[in-house]
Amino acid sequence: METPTEFKILDSIPDLNNLKSFTDRYFSKRYITDIDGIKNNDIMIMFHSNRIALLSLAPSHFFFNKDQEYKLNFTVGKVDRLRNAVKGKSKKGGQLLNPKSVVCKIEYKDGTSFDVPCGMKGTLIEVNEELVNQPELLKQYPDADGYIAIILSSIAISEATKSELLTHDEYLEVLNRCETKDLE
Amino acid sequence: MNQKSIIECCKELGCCDACCLRFLGLKSPAAYENPKQYVINALGKQGASVSPALVVQVETVPAGNQTEPAATAPGAVSEPPHAASEPSPAPSEPSPATSEPTPDVSEPFPAASEPTPGASEPPDDANEPPNKKMKVDGVCTTCLGLLQQENWPQCNAMVKTMLDKKRYECETFACALSAPVAALLRERVVALRLRDACANYDDGALTPLKEAWKWSFGAQLARHVGLALDSGAVSPLLVTLHMEYLEEAGELEALRRLAPELFARRSASQRFAVEFTRRAHAPLYLGGRYVKLSRTLPQTPWLVNGRRMLHSSVQELICAPIAALYRLDAEDAEHRLKFMSAGREDVDVRCLGDGRPFAIEITDPTRQPSEAELQQLCAQISAGGQVLVRRLVPVSREHLALLKKGEETKCKTYEALCIKLSHAADEQLPPAAPVRVTERDLQRVNAYSNCAGARVLLQQRTPIRVLHRRPLHVRPRRILALSAHAVPAQPQLLLLRLRTDAGLYVKEWAHGELGRTRPALADALQARVDILALDVAEVDLAWP
């Protein structure tokens, strides 16, 4: 029988020209554009194959065009999203979210702000606390370390939401159409 | 007090010859092989037999290495055997042995005094010679026919059939009886009657039904199946006959009324005892280590909504040749082969070195495999090239605990192939310059430590990939040793060797999982980094 010392990890080097990021490897991205009729109020929800969803801002969000210092505020009304806690396998006790629920506010130095809605029904598992200390992550890596929250929903809801929302290709198409319209 | 009066009294109450010997307190196995002769000698004449309406069901359950045959004793109505894997035939018609309740027992056993429906007609046996009729009708009021040889052929046949089917390869067997509780109750009634009838009758001397049954039924069963009868402590094959008495519930009703709580407790604990007994007869365990060479092979079948996602699994590759050796079909194999391992690796992670400890539990094996067969199993498992098993050895049940304990305590050595994705913080390079792993990077990783007593202490949140089925926790885990190496001809890659605590998620440490594992490899390297491939190089556990 062969001795396994013959097997080296170096025989597993993949094609380095076609590498995918962590989120692209394990998640499929979905988008909602112009939420509440606000132009480019666009969010991105990344679904893991196990139905867990990550909430973030879509690259087309107006946030990315505004160059001003900002902070994330996870206190929404009386609810502090930072105090969300879940217990056990079934994640009992997590804050309940519906598509309109505001997960956080982004507050600019000039006093203006905007809300980030959840976009789907589910239970809040955790928010990205690191954004409080390093708000720039949201701008630098919106589809990685700058994610806003982790949401868990039932298989049925996650499947339904996934099929309802824009896929990446559909999203690009929508953006394209808007651009053309703007030019006209 | 003489034997004759005891026997006469027993006979009057409807006891069979063997039960008479039991009430005499006789403990000689030889006497039970021909109880009739003994009774004739003691009595000088044959007593009259009487019989209650009774039904006995027999099931044989093997133990340990063993089988589950079922037999029906011809008391009156036979029940279908219940071997789980076989279709249950409809209950058979009441056999001709069905008999009328005797007036004698109607008093002590009110429930038995009502004839079973369908059993009230006397059998049409007018043409039978009288002595035969006597035998058929004369079901013992105490043992319910268990000790009467005319009831044995059906049991014998069933045991034989089951043994033939299971093909156990051994020369001895032990047999055990699971008797109806009603038999105990009846035995007690007869003993009380004897105490009334015969002065100084010592009911403490009574020979237990199970003993008498072993000496009589067991001895002839040995001849019938061609195996030597041995003690259950010695023989690997235990045949258990479960005798059910269809009137049991009714007959025990008086007990239930007398002490409902005690009755319920006893019933519950007895059910437990039976199950426990079955499990206590340990199946066969084979231990080994597997090397997994594929990055598209899950450890166990990967099913999504009942559909399999990949063609095979480590478990299936290991179990298939074992199933073939024991001639198990797919369904049997699923029930009787159980795969256990010290932890698991992801589908796309290989397990090299000596491999990962595992064990296979074989329920109800027909025999121990030989050394040569074990070697052949290894060769068959390894033939496909996806999984290698070098050695398989029988292991004890106690030994198995090591596997599970190892899962929590063992250290593992990994090799991880990583890619540097950005310039290190202190590299003064234009953004467009190619990213390269420098000598400085390697040094930085090799010198990195954030705690005393280990190299790195991580706080790791439950990874998203398992978060749907595990609680959310932050777990401290340690990297005990860590070294970084350059990869020839691949300037952007680095090779890491690390030894970690059990339960550390290496991939999540390498890419940081969106900041959910801290610190991550990026903190040591001072640059963004991702993982391309992972191998388990060694699982630290002495096994098998």
Chain segment A42-73, per-residue pLDDT in tens: 999 999 999 999 999 999 999 999 999 999 99
The pLDDT score that the predictor gives to residue A6 is 65
Of B15, B193, B20, B206, the C-alpha closest to B107 is B193
B161 inside domain: yes
Residue ending a domain, choose from B392, B408, B424? B408
Q: A-chain residues within 8 Å CB-CB of B465? A: 26, 48, 50
Amino acid in position B268: A
Whole domain around residue A162: which residue ranges? 26-183
Q: A-chain residues within 8 Å CB-CB of B355? A: 4
Contact check, Cβ <8 Å, B535/A26: no
B465 inside domain: yes
A103 inside domain: yes
Contact check, Cβ <8 Å, B295/A12: yes
B315 inside domain: yes
A9 inside domain: no
pLDDT tens profile B9-21: 898 889 999 999 9
Contact check, Cβ <8 Å, A87/B471: yes
Contact check, Cβ <8 Å, A4/B291: yes
Contact check, Cβ <8 Å, A86/B515: no
Instruction: List own/partner pairs for B193-196 with CB under 8 A and 24 or more apart.
Output: B193/B9, B193/B13, B193/B108, B194/B6, B194/B9, B194/B10, B194/B23
3-state secondary structure of A45: strand
Q: Let me know if B346 is a catalytic residue.
A: yes
The pLDDT score that the predictor gives to residue B282 is 53
- Which member of B104, B203, B346, B354 is catalytic? B346
Residues B435 and B374 placed together within one structural domain of the fold: no
Q: Tell me how many domains chain A contains.
A: 1
The pLDDT score that the predictor gives to residue B63 is 41
- Mean pLDDT of the region B222-227: 88
Of B243, B285, B236, B230, the C-alpha closest to B154 is B243
Q: Tell me how many domains chain B contains.
A: 3
Whole domain around residue B474: which residue ranges? 412-539
B77 inside domain: no
Residues 6+ apart with CB under 8 A from B458: B476, B477, B478, B479, B504, B509, B517, B518, B519, B520
pLDDT tens profile B463-515: 999 999 999 999 999 999 999 999 999 999 999 999 999 889 999 999 999 99
- Peptide bond between residue B519 and the one before it cis (omega within 30 degrees of 0): yes
Task: CATH number of the domain at B308, please.
Answer: 3.30.70.2510
ipTM of the complex: 0.93
Q: Which among B305, B459, B485, B514 is the top mutation candidate for probing chain A, defined by the most A β-carbons within 10 Å of its own β-carbon?
A: B514
Contact check, Cβ <8 Å, A7/B419: no
**For all residues of chain B together, what is the average pLDDT?**
79
Q: Which among B381, B464, B523 is the top mutation candidate for probing chain A, defined by the most A β-carbons within 10 Å of its own β-carbon?
A: B464
Residue A129 — very low, low, confident or very high, per pLDDT cuts 50/70/90? Answer: very high
Task: CATH number of the domain at A67, please.
Answer: 2.40.50.100
Rounded to 5°, angle at Cα B42 from B37 and B43: 95
Helix (H) or strand (E) holding A100: none
Residues B531 and B503 placed together within one structural domain of the fold: yes
pTM of the entire structure? 0.67
pLDDT tens profile B142-182: 999 899 988 898 888 888 888 887 777 777 888 888 888 88
Find the range with the poorest average confidence among B57-61, B202-206, B363-367, B372-376.
B57-61
Residues of B at the A interface, defined by Cβ within 8 angstroms:
291, 293, 295, 350, 352-355, 378, 382, 388, 390, 415-417, 419, 461, 464-472, 487-488, 490, 492-493, 495, 511-515, 530, 532-535
Q: Which among A2, A8, A10, A134 is the top mutation candidate for probing chain B, defined by the most B β-carbons within 10 Å of its own β-carbon?
A: A10
Here the tokens at position A87 are 């217990």
- Peptide bond between residue B544 and the one before it cis (omega within 30 degrees of 0): yes
CA distance B483 to B497: 5
Q: How far is A178 from chain B (nearest CA, A)?
A: 32
**For all residues of chain A together, what is the average pLDDT?**
92
Contact check, Cβ <8 Å, B350/A7: yes
For chains A and B, what is the number of CB pairs under 8 angstroms? Answer: 96
- Mean pLDDT of the region B396-406: 85
Residue B274 — very low, low, confident or very high, per pLDDT cuts 50/70/90? Answer: very low
Residues B402 and B430 placed together within one structural domain of the fold: no
Task: CATH number of the domain at B419, please.
Answer: 3.30.70.3190
